[in-house]
Structure 1
């Protein structure tokens, strides 16, 4: 069952145009739709971010802004990324303090620290969201194909 998120990630329009056989067409000769033009600006950080999440926001937004990747509409996704980072850090610190296993006081039986599951879930969410902004090594090459604003933006061969 193929659902959202299964299969290949679609190539950005700029990359399709570069591989195309004629202007405005991809390598198969299909017309490549023009992506929407958003106003690019760094969204304001939500005031409800905790200190760790806010520090991550402040760490990643300058680079994303420099690459012209942010728009105000990204506030929710970027906030979720930063909160996932904060949850991950908190859970990892808890595991370091308590150990990988914890002993149940009543029975005296050792079992896996529940913070490990929290850390793993937060890590998976964080990495998934980080990839949306090109913040993982495997997602970074997709940034090379982002369109550049210029007078020749409609000509994929102008930059070459």
Structure 2
């Protein structure tokens, strides 16, 4: 299956020079979408809307958002809201519950774990994880390396 391809904007942000990726290869800029942030859906939960309001300004400054990203960004934000709610439930109720079968893991533990996995996937698409944020660091490469794409 392999890695999910990065959008051209992310490749260019960490590239060695104008129009080239970090390996010095030319980057196809792709279609010329209008780079403006999408409007948030009205149905976002309060926590999801707070996350939307937190991440959209930074992504907008980097010209990474377009109106067509609305669904993916909403899914990321709602996944965050599920993660927060499940984590809060575990903190309040504990990691286990007592049932007729004995002590069992609290169902919110699995919900938080699954939401965390999904959150990392969605966040990676927007460069919002520690491992993908380097793609957002414009100018992180000082250009002192030679043109060897394997360096």
TM bucket by the smaller chain?
0.7 to 0.9
Structure 2: gaps (5+ residues)? 140-151
Q: CA RMSD in A?
A: 2.3
Q: Deviations over 1:66-120 (max 9, x none)?
A: 111110000000000000000000000111111000001xx26111001000001
User: 2:48 matched to 1:45?
Assistant: no
User: 2:86 matched to 1:86?
Assistant: no
What SS does the aligned partner of 1:118 have? helix
Q: TM-score, normalised by structure 2?
A: 0.77
Runs of 4+ with deviation above 4 angstroms: 7-13
Once residues 70 and 7 of structure 2 are traced to their aligned partners in structure 1, the CA distance between those partners, rounded to angstroms, is 24
Task: Name which structure has the greater RCO, CA cutoff 8 Å, separation 6+.
Answer: 2
Between Structure 1 and Structure 2, how many residues are aligned?
A: 131
Q: TM-score, normalised by structure 1?
A: 0.73
Gap change, CA 1:10 and 1:134, over 3 Å in 2: closer
Structure 1: gaps (5+ residues)? 21-25, 147-160
Once residues 40 and 75 of structure 1 are traced to their aligned partners in structure 2, the CA distance between those partners, rounded to angstroms, is 12
User: 2:58 matched to 1:63?
Assistant: yes
Among candidates 89, 95, 98, match of residue 93 of structure 2:
98
1:17 corresponds in structure 2 to 20
Map of 1:1-160 to 2, 5 A cutoff?
3=1, 6-7=2-3, 9=5, 12=8, 14=12, 15=15, 17=20, 19-20=23-24, 26=25, 33-104=28-99, 107=100, 109-144=102-137
